[in-house]
Amino acid sequence: MKLLFSFPLLLLCGMAQAQWTHSDGLLPVNGTKLYVRITGSHSSKPGHEPVIVLHGGPGLNQSYIQPHLRRLSKGHPVIFFDQRASGRSSTPRPDSITLGMTAGDIEGLRQQLHLDKIVLFAHSWGAIPAIVYATRYPQQVAALIFCNPVPLNHDFDVEQQQRLNKLQTAGDSTDRSIVMGSPDFKAGRTEAYRKLMMIGFRHLFADEKNRRLLTLQLPDNYLTSSKALYEGLSPELRSYNYYEQLRHFTFPILILYGEKDAIPEAAARKMLEAAPNSRLALFRHSGHFIFIEEPKRFTNEVERFIGTLR
């Protein structure tokens, strides 16, 4: 499958009765330690449900998405976390890096933060762990928001690769060769791998100039954690189909899709057809990172959708 790709420890538990401010740190959850960042204020009012954000990857982290979702924290508590073996979170044994354990991590966060129903916001790869969580804990889900979700089976792999191939240039190949021939890459330094990722992201924007607004930070142990991550997840990613699970969800679902993305629009429409209580919003001037390229409309769409939960 083609997937798109220290702060002081603060007490994060027992905060539900207070007004949340900006808080971050490592939180023991479900047998590991997750790096968690909370922005916004807690409220028990309908339409102000807490939002838990699932970043893309596998192997990315919240650093690329967190700055662009700050606007949402004006009306909701927004909880970001680095998935296990990603970012600043711990890297457990590969046999504990599964989709089921990631779903358990989300539930562990919900319980430790004393949250009732939650809105899950899933970007790209995050759609898959979001669906696994919603399948296991449907009573805890107020709504799902998918932002340029990856296809939920392998049916679109060929078309997606063809779309990417059409966008590639000779300059891309040259730049990759330069990075891969550099001393940093040969020494396994994280910065070289970050540069490779950023080259790959060039054509995932409607306007390549917007790529400069994408800030991606990788941890020093990126290679080690990525090896464990893919060793753990590979068995589940060889063959899967999550469209069927969508048919059983009764809560509202919003699908956001940037028309310039390499992911085929047909994959988003297949989600729309499968989920009975869903809506699709198309963004003509965006690629894979809608929240960067059309931030105002993105925020308005999300706020309006959450507001309907009242």
Of 36-45, 109-118, 126-135, 247-256, the range with the lowest mean pLDDT is 36-45
Least confident interval from 16-20, 26-30, 211-215 = 16-20
In this predicted structure, what is the pLDDT of residue 40? 83
Residue 2 makes CB contacts below 8 A (sequence gap 6+) with 157, 160, 161, 164
160, 2 contact by CB (below 8 A): yes
CA dihedral defined by 67, 69, 74, 77, rounded to 10 degrees? -100
Question: Is pLDDT of 23 > 90?
Answer: no
Task: Write the pLDDT tens digit of every residue in 271-280.
Answer: 999 999 999 9
pLDDT at 6: 31
Give the tens place of pLDDT for each residue, 162-211: 999 999 999 999 999 999 999 999 999 999 999 999 999 999 999 999 99
pTM greater than 0.85 = yes
Reference 24, options 13, 14, 12; nearest CA is 12
Can you say whether the dihedral through the CA atoms of 67, 193, 7, 147 is positive or negative? positive
At 22 the pLDDT is: 58
Mapping DSSP to helix (H, G, I), strand (E, B) and coil, where does residue 33 land?
strand
Strand segments (E) across the chain: 23-29, 32-39, 51-54, 78-81, 118-123, 141-147, 253-258, 278-283
- What are the domain boundaries of the chain? 23-157+223-307
pLDDT, residue 75, reads 77
The pLDDT assigned to 305 comes to 96
Report the distance separating Cα 71 and Cα 59, nearest Å. Answer: 25
Token digits for 259? 């028309």
Mean pLDDT, all residues of the chain:
91
Quick one: pLDDT at residue 42?
A: 64
Class of domain 23-157+223-307: alpha beta
Q: For residue 4, is pLDDT > 50?
A: no
Of all residues in the chain, what percent carry a pLDDT higher than 70? 91
